[in-house]
Amino acid sequence: MLSINAVKGFEFGSGFCGARMKGSEHNDVFNADGKTDSNLSGGIQGGISNGMDIYFRVAFKPVATIMQNQQTIDSEGNLTEIHGKGRHDPCVVPRAIPIVEALTALVLADFYLLDKTRKI
């Protein structure tokens, strides 16, 4: 997902919130039915699917051109202001979901085919 333009963050499962938890709070203990109560790992443990639903989040950066004056420097290092004049950068919102879904499908298909070749 990080190869998609405008993506600035990626997390699966509890992600960055999980990094602030203790191991005793974060552990996904398996029940007799082979599932966990919390799925804080997002379906991935040790880089391998654990059979639970895989879920992740992708963070996109906001559009850079804003209609407010901002402090900056010019090519000679002098302080100056920059003024946004119209929208010249694309809004990724309408395209973000299908792009993430398509890349997810490609990655899952790739790993499926890799796994299939190892079983021959």
Confidence of residue 84 (pLDDT cuts 50, 70, 90): confident
What local confidence, expressed as pLDDT, does residue 6 receive? Answer: 87
CA distance 77 to 94: 38
Is the per-residue pLDDT at 60 higher than 80?
yes
Mean pLDDT, rounded, of the chain: 89
Percent of the chain with pLDDT over 70: 96
Give residue-wise pLDDT tens across range 18-36: 999 999 999 888 999 988 8
- Alpha-carbon distance of 16 to 9, in angstroms, equals 10
The answer to whether 48 touches 55, Cβ cutoff 8 Å, is no
Q: Average pLDDT in the 68-83 region?
A: 92
**DSSP state string for the chain:** -TTSTTEEEEEETTHHHHTTS-HHHH---B-TTS-BSS-TTTTEETTEE-SSPP-EEEEEPPPS--SS-EEEE-TTS-EEEE---S--S---HHHHHHHHHHHHHHHHHHHHHHHHHHT-
**Residue 2 pLDDT class (50, 70, 90 cuts):** very high
> What does the domain layout of the chain look like in residue ranges?
7-118
% pLDDT > 90, the chain: 56
Q: If pLDDT is split at 50, 70 and 90, which confidence band does 59 have?
A: very high
How far apart, in whole angstroms, are the C-alpha atoms of residue 74 and residue 80?
Answer: 7
Average pLDDT of the residues in 3-30: 92
Residue 80 near residue 74, CB atoms below 8 Å:
yes
User: What are the φ/ψ torsions at residue 49 (nearest 5 degrees)?
Assistant: -60, 135
